Every structure is written in structure tokens, then in C-alpha cells.
């Protein structure tokens, strides 16, 4: 017997559109909810033309009584049809039900004893909607922008998650989405790689970003059309695969089951294997049955303990925020580093002496050793933290320690230059006399690395590499040598390089601490503004020097290897002055007279379009 169940108000639609499709079969037309006297015959099939709301009521009854069901597409049963993989064409579905020879047994997910056809959305997970791609890129962009407007009010909620007697995790999250298989929703298609409707399990995806930055980045990634699933879950999304799960909290939990809003302090999610007998074709019917009840967890990135408690207290911050424990530990280290100590002064003296001797000896390995020994990077990083936290005590101690280290380094380098009776401009000394914007770039990267290495205990060993990269002591030693030689050009060039390194490290170490969550922006902005002004002032002479390097390279390229009147120009070197000094070697087949050299000079000036003073070495090529 075929029973066709429908709502009373749909009887005309049924008679007009459905009965002609089944007129050659024996059937009985019944309205739902059916009466208490309704007693179907054995081995009957139930054809349902019902909305989602009625199907949620009927399917648990059918599961208990083991009724074979055929579900017809109804204007109001989109969740059921899509969730069970049923076609939306009425004629095809009716034929499938009538011609079905072997029913399909499907697992059924329940939430607080209510069947779930697509998903359970718990908390604030507007990002994880059940809707499909609209195939309209502009519409999807608008949806993402609309979601971005909502993020400023997002807050974490507390969730205690357990499975049976096992407590899995007490965490906080914006929300959780629960799906039985990957095709249940857009997000599960992206984030769930392997699943089956008949494996006896479901997925709980826990959205727990700790700042808006990572969430916005996830939004932007969602804009890009992607057919394949994401191979690795973002660190802020936890994943639990289980056959039963309990989600609870002391406060009522807001959730939605297939679009219907509910509230409860406890959610019990469980899969009933083979609960639904589907007497029709489903796209999931051919899925292989996996090992039932196999549990898997990916919850390493979810917040717990103090981190969880802090996220629950306030709105989701734009930038990361360090926990009190992380902040206290780092702050204690940096406070100690800001204080002037005898070991600090001794190491500054020793590193300066080593650097000075290495500069005079033109020895790069010795100078590198001095960089590693130099302790001045520590109070600079402490000053950066004091700046973003606006901690006056740390600022005063940090700047005092930096000034003390700077002065003692200048003094001992000057003493070495006076003691050594040589005034030799070695390449190592000369290399630190013309800082450019490239040096500022090195300082920027070094400042970020220094702050990050201090903040992350596991990479603190990288501080030696930071010290080598930024090279604070060698330019200080060269500046001290300039004082000893009474040479303003040497002192000013090297000290500008030192100030460049200092300003770059302070500003970008501070910005790094800010991005890592060790200070609120409101407190840090004044210190950052002052440091930015200093950086800009330092960058002015650096940009001029950088322009000179560009001009020097341009002139060198224009002259090196060129031929003028059968004379080849080699080893071109430029020194800026009034006029520009060009030093080079003239290689020809015969010796050159002064008149010939003067003629070459004129053609060089014509080529680079500026007057020059020419220094030449003549060579004859045989």
C-alpha cells in the first residue's frame, strides 16, 4: 500500500500535481498530522508531501516504526531535500519512489531529540551559513562585506564539550557548526575533507578566532571561489568527529537547527545509525560505509584557561592580545634588561674594544664576534616595550641604559684610536660612513625580529642572529674612532648609521609588541608617533645618501667598459664633491698625451651631463 501524506491546505496541489503521477498504483490519501486511529498496513510505503516542520515531527516516528519513506519536493522542505540528497524535480522523485526496489538505510543526526538534515549552528556563526554559492561574485562580495560590518560586536561564548563520560575541552568560541557530512553546508564543503552520511559520526567545527585580524583574513580567503576543500584547517578552527557530543554552559545557549532558533543550556548531539529507511534515490546512496563511531579531534588551537576567560570578558579585539601570564613573564625579563648593571657595562666595553680592533685590522669575523657580545639590543627592546605600554619607569631606565652604553662605547673606541698611531681608513670603517635607506630596512626587520624573539621563548636563541643583523656596536666604534681622529665626517656618518638602527629597532619592535597583543593601541599611539617623527627625521639624510648611491651606480654603469676614441674605461669609481670626482683607468694601444686625456674628459662630461674632476691611470694594452 502507498500512503500519500500531506497537509490539509495542500490537498488541491496534491490532486492536481501528484495524483496523476501515481494513478496506476494503489494508494491512500491522508492528511498530516494523522489521527490516533491511523493504522497503516504492513510493508507499506509512505510518500510525503510535507514541509520541513512536519517532516521533523514525522521522521522520528517513522524511524521508530521502521516505515519506508519517500519524500517529495515541497516548497517548504528545502532543508530536508538538500540534507538527504533528494532531487528537486517532482516527476523524477515520484518515479524514483514508485520504482525503488531496494530501500536505502541512512544515519540520522539528532539535536536534543530533533532530527537535523543540514546543520546545527551554535552561537555567532553568521560566517558559516548553510546557503550555497550563488554563482554571483558581486553578490558574494556583498555578503562578505555585510559580515565584516558585524564583526565589531562579536564576543566569545563559553562551551563545555564532552562525549559520553569523557570531557573533551572547556573552551570559548564565537560558535560551533555541526554537520553530518561534508555536503551539508558551504563551510563543511570547504573544511571537511572526508565524510559519509553512513559512517555513524558527525563533525563539530568550532570557530574560535582570538582576534578580528585572523577572522577578516578568513573572510577574504572565502571570497575566492574554491572547488576543493581546504587541506589544512585554520588554527582557530577546531574539529571534532564523534558519534555523540554534549555542548553545555551555565548560561542559555542560542542555536539554530536547520534555520529554526532554539535556546538551551545543554545540547545533546547524537547519530542514530540506519535510522531512516529511504524508499527512493539519494545522491548519498552510493557512498561507502566507513568505520562507525571512530572519533577524531583537532582542538590544539582552541583557547583554554586564562586565555578563554579573557576572551569571554570583552569583545573580540582587532589585534592579538597576550594573556596576563604571557605579559607578566615577558615584562619581568624586559624590566630587568632595562637596568644598568656591571655585567652590561663590562660587555659593552669588551664588545667595543673587539669591534675597534677588528675595524683597524679590517677583520669581518672579529667584528661579527663583537656584535654577538654586544648587550645593547636588550635595553633597546625594553625601551620599545616601555614606549607602547607608556611605562614611565621602564622608559627612563631603558633610555638611561642605552645612553650609558652609547657613551662608554664612544669613549673606549676614541681611546683605542688615540692609542693606535694609525689613521687608516680601512674598508670596514669606510663601509659604515654612508648609511642609506637600505640600512633603515635592515633596522626595521631587526626590530621586528628582536621583539618577536623576546616574546616567543622558544626562539629566544635567535637573539644572537638579531644582534649580528643590526650591528649596533661597529658603527658606534667607528663614531668613537672619528672622535679620536677629530674627524667630523667619520663621526657624523657612523653615528647617523647608529641612530638609524636605533630608531628603526625602537619603532618596529614597539609595533611588533603591539601586534602581538602586549599593549593596547590607545596607550601606545603617542610613543609610536614620537618615534615615527624621529625615524622620518633620520630618513631624510638617509634618502639623500640613497639617491647618491643610485646616482653613483648610474654614472658607473654609463662609463664602465665603454670606449671613447679607441680608449677603454676600466675600474670606474665615483666620489661626490664639487665637482664630481671620477677615478678610472684608461686602457689604450699607446701612451696618451694630456691633450688626449682632456678630450676624453670632455666626452665623459658630455655623456653624464655634469662637470667632473678626472683622476686617471693610463695603461697600454699590447
* Helical ranges in 299-436 per DSSP H: 305-313, 324-337, 342-360, 364-373, 377-389, 392-419, 427-430
Which tops the pLDDT comparison, 451 or 397?
397
Query: What average pLDDT does the segment 419-426 reach?
Result: 84
Look at the pTM and tell me if it is higher than 0.85. no
Strand-pairing partners, residue 109, are 116, 271
The pLDDT score that the predictor gives to residue 194 is: 61
CATH of the domain at 182: 2.60.200.40
Coil/strand/helix, residue 107: strand
- Is 56 inside a domain boundary? yes
CA dist., res. 336 & res. 503, Å (int): 22
Domain closes at, from 101, 130, 163: 101
Cell of 429: 670603517
Query: What average pLDDT does the segment 561-588 reach?
Result: 81
Number of folded domains that form the chain: 4
The pLDDT score that the predictor gives to residue 294 is: 67
Q: 446 and 479: one domain? A: yes
pLDDT band at 134 (very low <50, low <70, confident <90, very high): very low
CA dist., res. 110 & res. 163, Å (int): 15
Q: Which residue has the cell 526496489?
A: 101
Q: 333 and 304: one domain? A: no
pLDDT, tens digit (0-9, with 9 covering 90-100), for 53-81: 899 889 888 888 889 998 999 988 888 88
pLDDT, tens digit (0-9, with 9 covering 90-100), for 356-403: 999 998 888 888 888 878 888 889 888 888 888 878 888 899 999 999
Q: List the single range of 408-412, 419-423, 454-458 with lowest mean pLDDT.
A: 454-458
Q: Exposed, middle or buried: residue 86 (CB in 10 Å: 0-12, 13-18, 19+)? A: buried
- Average pLDDT score, the chain: 81
Q: 43 and 158: one domain? A: no
Query: What average pLDDT does the segment 569-590 reach?
Result: 80
Q: Is the pLDDT reported for residue 159 higher than 80?
A: yes
- Is 122 inside a domain boundary? yes
Residue 42: alpha-carbon gap to chain centroid: 60
CB 33 within 8 A of CB 57: yes
Q: Exposed, middle or buried: residue 87 (CB in 10 Å: 0-12, 13-18, 19+)? A: middle
The pLDDT score that the predictor gives to residue 481 is: 93
Parent domain of 350: 324-542
CATH of the domain at 469: 1.20.1080
- Is 110 inside a domain boundary? no
- Is 319 inside a domain boundary? no
Q: 82 and 136: one domain? A: no
Q: 23 and 87: one domain? A: yes
Query: What average pLDDT does the segment 530-547 reach?
Result: 69
Which tops the pLDDT comparison, 529 or 119?
119
CA dist., res. 8 & res. 12, Å (int): 9
Q: 176 and 230: one domain? A: yes
- Which of 273, 397, 251 lies closest to 334 in space, CA to CA? 397
Q: Is the pLDDT reported for residue 203 higher than 90?
A: no
**Other CB atoms within 10 A of residue 459 CB:** 13
Give backbone dihedrals phi and psi of 296, rounded to 5 degrees, phi first: -145, 150
The pLDDT score that the predictor gives to residue 313 is: 82
Coil/strand/helix, residue 79: helix
Q: 203 and 300: one domain? A: yes
Q: Is the pLDDT reported for residue 269 higher than 80?
A: yes
Q: Is the pLDDT reported for residue 413 higher than 90?
A: yes
pLDDT band at 133 (very low <50, low <70, confident <90, very high): very low
pLDDT band at 128 (very low <50, low <70, confident <90, very high): very low
CB 314 within 8 A of CB 517: no
Which tops the pLDDT comparison, 212 or 375?
375
- Is 551 inside a domain boundary? no
CB 106 within 8 A of CB 278: yes
CA dist., res. 372 & res. 356, Å (int): 14
The pLDDT score that the predictor gives to residue 129 is: 47
pLDDT band at 191 (very low <50, low <70, confident <90, very high): low
Q: 509 and 565: one domain? A: no
- Return the biggest CA–CA distance within the chain: 126
- Is 434 inside a domain boundary? yes
Q: Exposed, middle or buried: residue 185 (CB in 10 Å: 0-12, 13-18, 19+)? A: buried
Q: Is the pLDDT reported for residue 537 higher than 90?
A: no
Residue 223: alpha-carbon gap to chain centroid: 16
270 DSSP assignment: E
pLDDT, tens digit (0-9, with 9 covering 90-100), for 12-45: 998 999 898 888 888 888 888 887 677 888 888 8
CB 367 within 8 A of CB 359: yes
CA distances from 6 to 30, 47, 281, 540 (A): 7, 9, 21, 81
- Is 107 inside a domain boundary? no
CATH of the domain at 597: 3.30.300
Q: What is the CA radius of gyration of the chain?
A: 38
Which tops the pLDDT comparison, 497 or 522?
497
pLDDT, tens digit (0-9, with 9 covering 90-100), for 309-331: 878 887 777 766 666 666 777 88
Q: 537 and 569: one domain? A: no
CA distances from 608 to 33, 104, 564, 603, 611 (A): 96, 85, 13, 9, 8
Find which of 54-58, 79-83, 212-216, 218-222 is predicted with most confidence, using mean pLDDT.
54-58
Domain closes at, from 42, 73, 101: 101
pLDDT band at 244 (very low <50, low <70, confident <90, very high): very high
Which helix (DSSP H) or strand (DSSP E) does residue 240 occupy?
strand 237-242
Cell of 614: 678626472
Query: What average pLDDT does the segment 567-572 reach?
Result: 85
CB 234 within 8 A of CB 218: yes
Q: 344 and 447: one domain? A: yes
Coil/strand/helix, residue 423: coil
The pLDDT score that the predictor gives to residue 293 is: 55
CATH of the domain at 77: 3.40.50.10330
pLDDT, tens digit (0-9, with 9 covering 90-100), for 275-302: 888 888 887 765 555 555 567 888 888 8
Residue 417 gets the label, from left (phi > 0), alpha (psi -120 to 50) or beta, of alpha
Q: 360 and 458: one domain? A: yes
In 99-173, where do the E strands start and end? 104-111, 114-116, 119-123, 157-163, 166-173
pLDDT band at 150 (very low <50, low <70, confident <90, very high): low
Q: Is the pLDDT reported for residue 461 higher than 60?
A: no
Coil/strand/helix, residue 448: helix
- Is 548 inside a domain boundary? no
Domain closes at, from 101, 132, 155: 101
Q: 74 and 184: one domain? A: no
Amino acid at each position: 500500500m502507498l500512503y500519500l501524506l500531506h497537509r490539509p491546505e495542500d490537498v488541491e496541489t496534491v490532486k492536481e500535481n501528484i495524483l496523476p503521477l501515481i494513478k496506476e498504483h494503489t494508494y491512500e490519501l491522508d492528511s498530516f498530522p494523522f489521527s490516533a486511529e491511523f493504522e497503516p498496513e504492513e510493508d507499506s510505503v509512505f510518500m510525503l508531501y510535507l514541509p520541513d516542520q512536519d517532516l521533523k515531527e514525522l521522521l522520528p516516528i517513522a524511524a521508530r516504526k521502521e516505515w519506508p519513506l519517500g519524500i517529495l519536493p515541497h516548497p517548504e522542505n528545502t532543508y530536508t531535500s538538500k540534507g538527504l540528497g533528494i532531487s528537486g524535480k517532482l516527476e523524477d522523485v515520484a518515479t524514483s519512489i514508485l520504482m525503488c526496489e531496494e530501500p536505502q538505510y541512512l544515519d540520522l543526526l539528532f539535536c536534543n531529540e530533533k532530527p537535523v538534515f543540514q546543520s546545527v549552528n551554535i552561537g555567532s556563526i553568521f560566517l558559516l551559513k548553510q546557503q550555497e554559492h550563488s554563482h554571483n561574485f558581486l553578490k558574494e562580495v556583498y555578503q562578505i562585506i555585510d559580515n565584516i560590518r558585524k564583526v565589531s560586536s562579536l564576543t566569545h561564548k563559553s562551551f563545555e564539550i564532552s562525549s559520553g563520560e569523557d570531557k573533551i575541552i572547556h573552551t570559548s568560541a564565537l560558535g560551533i557548526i555541526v554537520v553530518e557530512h561534508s555536503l551539508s553546508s558551504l563551510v563543511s564543503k570547504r573544511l571537511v575533507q572526508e565524510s559519509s552520511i553512513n559512517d555513524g559520526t558527525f563533525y563539530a567545527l568550532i570557530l574560535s578566532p582570538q582576534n578580528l585580524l585572523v577572522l577578516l583574513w578568513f573572510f577574504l580567503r572565502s571570497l575566492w571561489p574554491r572547488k576543493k576543500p581546504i587541506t589544512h584547517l585554520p588554527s582557530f578552527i577546531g574539529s571534532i568527529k564523534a558519534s555523540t557530543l554534549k555542548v553545555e554552559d551555565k548560561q542559555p545557549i542560542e542555536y539554530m537547527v536547520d534555520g529554526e532558533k532554539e535556546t538551551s543550556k545543554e545540547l545533546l548531539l547524537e547519530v542514530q545509525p540506519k535510522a531512516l529507511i529511504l524508499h527512493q534515490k539519494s545522491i548519498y546512496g552510493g557512498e561507502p560505509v566507513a568505520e562507525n563511531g571512530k572519533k577524531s579531534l583537532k582542538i590544539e588551537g582552541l583557547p583554554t584557561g586564562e586565555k578563554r576567560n579573557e576572551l569571554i570578558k570583552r569583545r573580540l579585539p582587532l589585534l592579538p592580545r597576550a594573556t596576563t601570564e604571557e605579559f607578566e613573564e615577558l615584562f619581568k625579563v624586559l624590566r630587568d634588561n632595562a637596568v644598568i648593571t656591571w655585567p652590561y657595562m663590562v660587555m659593552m666595553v669588551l664588545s667595543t674594544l673587539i669591534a675597534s680592533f677588528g675595524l683597524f685590522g679590517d677583520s669581518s669575523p672579529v667584528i661579527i664576534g663583537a656584535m654577538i657580545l654586544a648587550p645593547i639590543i636588550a635595553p633597546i627592546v625594553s625601551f620599545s616595550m616601555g614606549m607602547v605600554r607608556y611605562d614611565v619607569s621602564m622608559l627612563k631606565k631603558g633610555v638611561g641604559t642605552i645612553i650609558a652604553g652609547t657613551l662608554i662605547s664612544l669613549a673606549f673606541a676614541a681611546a683605542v684610536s688615540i692609542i693606535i698611531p694609525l689613521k687608516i681608513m680601512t674598508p670596514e670603517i669606510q663601509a659604515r660612513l654612508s648609511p642609506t635607506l637600505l640600512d633603515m630596512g635592515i633596522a626595521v626587520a631587526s626590530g621586528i625580529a628582536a621583539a618577536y624573539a623576546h616574546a616567543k621563548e622558544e626562539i629566544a636563541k635567535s637573539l644572537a642572529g638579531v644582534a649580528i643583523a643590526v650591528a649596533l656596536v661597529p658603527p658606534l666604534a667607528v663614531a668613537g674612532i672619528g672622535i679620536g681622529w677629530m674627524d667630523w665626517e667619520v663621526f657624523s656618518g657612523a653615528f647617523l648609521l647608529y641612530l638609524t638602527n636605533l630608531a628603526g629597532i625602537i619603532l618596529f619592535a614597539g609595533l611588533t609588541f603591539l601586534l602581538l597583543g602586549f599593549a593596547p593601541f590607545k596607550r601606545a599611539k603617542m610613543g609610536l608617533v614620537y618615534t615615527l617623527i624621529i625615524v622620518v627625521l633620520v630618513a631624510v639624510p638617509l634618502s639623500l645618501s640613497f639617491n647618491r648611491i643610485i646616482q653613483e651606480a648610474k654614472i658607473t654603469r654609463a662609463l664602465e667598459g665603454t670606449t671613447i676614441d679607441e680608449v677603454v674605461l676600466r675600474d670606474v669609481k665615483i666620489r661626490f664633491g664639487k665637482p664630481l670626482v671620477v677615478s678610472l683607468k684608461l686602457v689604450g694601444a699607446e701612451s696618451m698625451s694630456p691633450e688626449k686625456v682632456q678630450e676624453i674628459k670632455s666626452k665623459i662630461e658630455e655623456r653624464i651631463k655634469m662637470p667632473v674632476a678626472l683622476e686617471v691611470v693610463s695603461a697600454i694594452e699590447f
